[in-house]
Structure 1
């Protein structure tokens, strides 16, 4: 064999060794990531679940506030109607009193 043959064989051997080393390292990395993936996914799922629950709670509070405001508005309109009726009755009583006072004179 010539020197160039040895150089070519040595280059091929060293490149193959380096590629195998890189491949083994990448397989170990992938294995570690695969082992951590369930933990990472669980954390992300728990975080998502927590934010969904918080949003549902917030939406429920907003709806309850709107329902209370609606009920209060309904009650306010009933109160206004009752006050108007009382005012009308008071006007009728005043008119009746004036009429009675005029007749008594």
Structure 2
């Protein structure tokens, strides 16, 4: 074998090793992101749920000031329906999180 053959083999070996390092590193990063994604989604959804409830409360107070309670029961039932729907979505997110976590393990 000539010197150029050794140089070529060494270059191929080192480039392959470097590419393998990069691929492994990127896979680890993707795995970490995938593991954190369900928790991030849950936190964002909880934050959204809280701000929806605050806004609903603010809107209810504003309507009560304007109308002096003739439709208060109707508004409360709408809020209860919305909160029930939010709770259903929360349960679906929890199931999604469990499925994702089981697939990662």
Same fold (TM over 0.5): yes
| Cross-structure match for 1:2 | 2
Partners of 1:16 and 1:62 lie apart in 2 by 67
1:33 aligns with 2:21: no
Partners of 2:27 and 2:34 lie apart in 1 by 10
Q: Which runs of 5+ in 1 are unaligned?
A: 69-105
Number of aligned residue pairs: give it.
68
Give the CA deviation at 1:10. Answer: 0.6
Q: Deviations over 1:38-69 (max 9, x none)?
A: 1111000100110111111111111111113x
Q: Which structure has the larger Rg? A: 1
Regions of 4+ moved over 3 Å: none
Could you say what the CA RMSD is over the residues aligned between the two structures, in angstroms? Answer: 0.8
| Cross-structure match for 1:64 | 64
* TM-score relative to the length of structure 2: 0.62
| Cross-structure match for 1:54 | 54
Q: Secondary structure at the match of 2:31?
A: helix
Higher relative contact order (CA 8 A, sep 6+): 2
| Cross-structure match for 1:88 | none
Give the CA deviation at 1:5. Answer: 1.2
